[in-house]
Structure 1
Amino acid sequence: MEKDIQKDKVLWTKNFVIINIINLLIFFGFQMLLPTLPIYAKKLGGTNSVIGLVTGAFVVSSVIIRPISGLLLDKLGRQKVFLVGLFIFIVSVFSYSLVPFISAIIMIRFIHGFGWGAVSTASNTIASDNIPKDRFGEGMGYFSLTSSLAMAVAPTIGLFVISKYNFQILFLVSTLLAVLGGIVAFKLEYKKIENKEQTKTKASLYEKVSINPSIIVFFITITYGALTSFLPLYASQKGIENIGVFFTVYAISLFISRPIFGKIIDKLGFDYAIIPGFICVIISMALLSEASNISMFLISAFIYGIGFGATQSSLQTMAMTGVAPSRLGAANATFFTAFDCGVGLGAVILGVVSANVGYAQMYLWASGSAIIAFILYFIIGRKRKLQCKTLKL
């Protein structure tokens, strides 16, 4: 049901609580599959290159659908895009257990990316609709905690399920979580996009005022692509087992830092969150390149969580600030398209680098992308920051 949402300074409204619960459920089901689908593909006879296609197909489709979803969110409304995306997501996850063939898994993964790209863009837009402008940084920090919590717990649970039961149970649990999220979604009140708002803004797949912070986040997420793709291989090379704890520490660090930096953005401004964040990401990559034991890996994980939490939430806030309500969908799509591209291209580019110089040197190279993001912030990011300050948002 679409309604006019009251704009006030109350953050924890019924609507905001509900969208946080929904995001947690959907993200939990999504994160359970990240470390387990490659194992499933391997079990079905997939080679390493084919397993790469399983990941690549998902990234390609999610990048394709995000700008289209953003446009539709602003033209058709939040509810239709959100529920259709969720339906595709649910059907895709359930379908993994029906066709145990590697070629079918790649096709389903491609369709799954469409559902994930649409539903995640919509959920971020719905959250944006329900956060007071003067508490936007804080609100997005709390909203991001749901994904951080899922990131910390869900992969471990997914691996536990396939070790104790089987992949069919895993797919069923993931499906049920998404279905539960869909049921809760019927309690949401969606922002109504007025016709007069739509006529004030030109229809476009991308939001112009969100481009600068999106470019910067692209270079930051290259480092995240390096972590998700190559860290287990790097740790194995160093003789370190159970490296999954790295991502747990990283997620805990995100969980702690995001709300803190959100409040800092609202009270002191972007510099006080983004600059320390960049420094932390650079340091963490440099430490990782020199890591020789589990302690160094975990220190790097904690520092990276602080840095990534500060920069990602700050840049997302910057991308949303000053955007017309009828363009929030496009703004979220612009930001997360750049986010996905950074992760995907980071894995590809740094994979080539690692083949030539090794994993340790690759992470030192990855710190270079964070340095580029740091420089770009002072060239194009601060210009956007001054626009936000002028708008007093």
Structure 2
Amino acid sequence: MEATRQKLWTKDFLIVSLINFTITLIFYLLIVTIAAYAVEQFQASTSTAGLVSSIFIIGTLFGRLGTGRIIGDWGSKKTLFCGLLLFMLSTISYFIAGNLPLLMLNRLVQGIALGVASTATGTIIAQILPTERRGEGIGYYSLSAILATAIGPFIGILLTQLFEDYRMIFAVDSVLAIICFFMYFMVTVPFIPKKATEATVKAGFKVSNFIEMRALPIAFVALVIGFAYSGVMSFMTFYAKELDLVTAGSYFFIIYAVVILATRPFTGKLLDARGANIIIYPCLVIFAIGMYTFSSATTTIAFLIAAACIGVGYGNFNSVAQAIAIKVTPNERLGLATSTYFILYDLGLGVGPYFLGFFVPSKGYSTIFFSMIFVILLSIVLYYFLYGKYENLKQARIS
């Protein structure tokens, strides 16, 4: 019986990870194609096309904000059902979004659906993992999103090259969303007593009904780190063209994903055995080194070395920080912890490109990326005061 409880790679773990991979894949497939679609189909301006692309993230934030409370009331499996149903319907609705306002509305709704569904999958994963292996398990689970960030843009760009009609992209997305919805019926979620849940969510409007305060410190560090990384995600194409390293730019996220795949199994086990500090501090330093290399790159080799460093640093920080948010939270509030973490993390990713974009014309991409080194160094200080020093005290008491 004990051996069964220790099992990590269960049917439910694999299916929920696959669901998360698929919805994230659809998101990244569309994020690299929808702006061009808005320009070509509806003659949208560049700024409006950017809003068509980014309004999805706004929807995701709204979706995550209320999902922790909904999971507390309905349970994680019912919440996942609603999120996947809405995600499937909104994905199919691209075929009937016949004007720019409808397209933007559909993007917003799909973002809300992704926020609900991905928060539910993260909560279910936390519920089905053995407590003593959560760090390792969440590390593996987060690979589903990492792979999607590399494969999604590749498929999206490939489809635009193979087919002139964007409806083929919508058709592929729709098929994936339908498959994803029906995978839901294969998932089994452990029962959590209703009384335990009710005790954590009180009637009326209270911040604690929507935000898990214990997860807030590490989530704030994730916001700062997400802000530092956001420019890489949003301005990669422009920066690579400016440096005449377009080929290297196309391989950047592949190298990034491969490095994370290679290192994540070790960092997850190390987290469970030795705690977060032994991983977080080196990862943030390596992330800063990667950002310096990225900001000063002039060759393909330097560009890809930067991808590897950013993959080790930023990629592993994200999974470990998510695991921390789960570890410091009682089981009955895992939904709130997951939504709290991703609300702040997504906020950093969403606000970053908009804010940094103001400085690009006057400062240039290289200077912008170089300045992010100081943001990363600031995050090391924030991490120490918000979480790191408390883990040191806990380890000292244990020893």
- Aligning the two structures, in what range does the TM-score lie when normalised by the shorter sequence? over 0.9
Q: Describe how 1:2-81 pairs up with structure 2 within 5 A.
A: 8-44=5-41, 45-81=43-79
Q: Residues 191-221 of structure 1: CA distance to partner in whole angstroms, max 9, x if unpaired?
A: 3231221243244100011001000001111
CA distance in 1 between partners of 2:80 and 2:58 (Å): 20
Matched, 1:219 2:224: yes
Pairing 1:218-257 to 2, within 5 Å after superposition: 218-242=223-247, 243-257=249-263
Q: What residue in structure 2 maps to residue 3 of structure 1?
A: none
Is this contact kept in 2: 1:221–1:343, CA < 8 A? yes
Tell me if structure 1 keeps the 8 A contact 2:64–2:343: yes
Q: CA deviation at 1:389?
A: 5.9
Q: Is the Cα–Cα contact under 8 Å of residues 69 and 201 in structure 2 kept in the other structure?
A: no
Secondary structure of 2:6's match? coil
**Residue 242 of structure 2 aligns to which amino acid in structure 1?**
Q
Query: 8 Å contact 2:88–2:181 — kept in the other structure?
Result: no
For residue 285 of structure 1, give the secondary structure of its aligned residue in structure 2: helix
Cα distance in 2 for partners of 1:364, 1:164 equals 37
1:130 aligns to what? 128
Residue from 91, 94, 115 that aligns with 1:93: 91
Cα distance in structure 1, aligned partners of 2:142 and 2:175:
22
Which segment is superposed worse, 298-307 or 317-326? Answer: 317-326
- Determine the C-alpha separation between the residues in 2 that align with 1:302 and 1:245: 11
* Matched-pair contact (CA < 8 Å) for 1:254–1:308: no
Per-residue CA distance 1:158-189 (angstroms, 9 max, x = gap): 22122212311111111111211111110111
One-letter amino acid matched to 1:84: C
Of stretches 134-143 and 247-256 in structure 1, the one that deviates more from structure 2 is: 247-256
Aligned to 2:112: 114
Distance 1:87 1:122, change over 3 A: same
In structure 2, distance between residues paired with 1:386 and 1:188: 38
Which AA in structure 2 matches 1:224?
Y
Q: Match of 1:106, SS?
A: helix
The aligned runs of 1:282-301 (5 Å cut-off) are 282-301=288-307
| Aligned AA (2:354) | V
Counterpart of 2:376 in structure 1: which amino acid? A
- The code of the aligned residue for 2:140 comes to Y
Match of 2:317 in 1: 311
Are 2:287 and 1:281 equivalent residues in the alignment?
yes
TM-score (norm 2): 0.92
Q: Report % sequence identity.
A: 28
1:209 to 204, 209, 214: 214
Equivalent residues, number: 387
Q: Which stretch has the larger CA shift, 93-102 or 72-81?
A: 93-102
Question: Which has the higher mean CA deviation after the structures are superposed, 99-108 or 214-223?
Answer: 99-108
The match for 1:163 is 161
The answer as to whether partners of 2:215 and 2:337 remain within 8 angstroms in 1 is: yes
How far the C-alpha of 1:357 sits from its partner, in A, is: 1.1
C-alpha deviation, 1:369, in angstroms: 1.7
Runs of at least 5 residues in structure 1 that lack an aligned partner in the other structure: 1-5
1:225: Cα distance to partner? 1.0
**One-letter amino acid matched to 2:72:** D
Q: Specify whether residues 26 and 377 from structure 1 end up closer, same or farther in structure 2 by C-alpha distance, changes over 3 A only.
A: same
Q: Distance in 1 between matches of 2:215 and 2:393?
A: 12
Q: Say if 2:290 and 2:310, in contact at 8 Å, map to a contact too.
A: yes
Contact 2:73 2:198 in 1 (8 A): no
**Partner Cα separation in structure 2 for residue 387 and residue 37 of structure 1:** 49
Aligned to 2:178: 179
Q: Give the CA deviation at 1:391.
A: 11
2:137 aligned residue: 139
C-alpha distance 130-365 of structure 1, shift in aligned 2 (>3 A): same
Contact 1:318 / 1:384 at 8 angstroms: preserved in 2? no
- Deviation for aligned residue 1:303: 0.5
How far is 1:98 from its partner? 2.0
Structure 2 unaligned runs (5+)?
203-208
Between the aligned partners of 2:387 and 2:337, the Cα distance in structure 1 is: 16
Structure 1 residue 374, shift from structure 2 partner: 0.7
Task: State the partner residue of 1:200.
Answer: 199
CA distance in 1, matches of 2:192, 2:73: 8
Instruction: Tell me if the contact between 1:88 and 1:112 (Cα under 8 Å) persists in the aligned partners.
Output: yes
Aligned Cα root-mean-square deviation (Å): 2.0
Q: Please identify, of 295-304 and 23-32, the stretch whose mean Cα deviation from structure 2 is larger.
A: 23-32
- Confirm whether residue 372 of structure 1 aligns to residue 378 of structure 2: yes
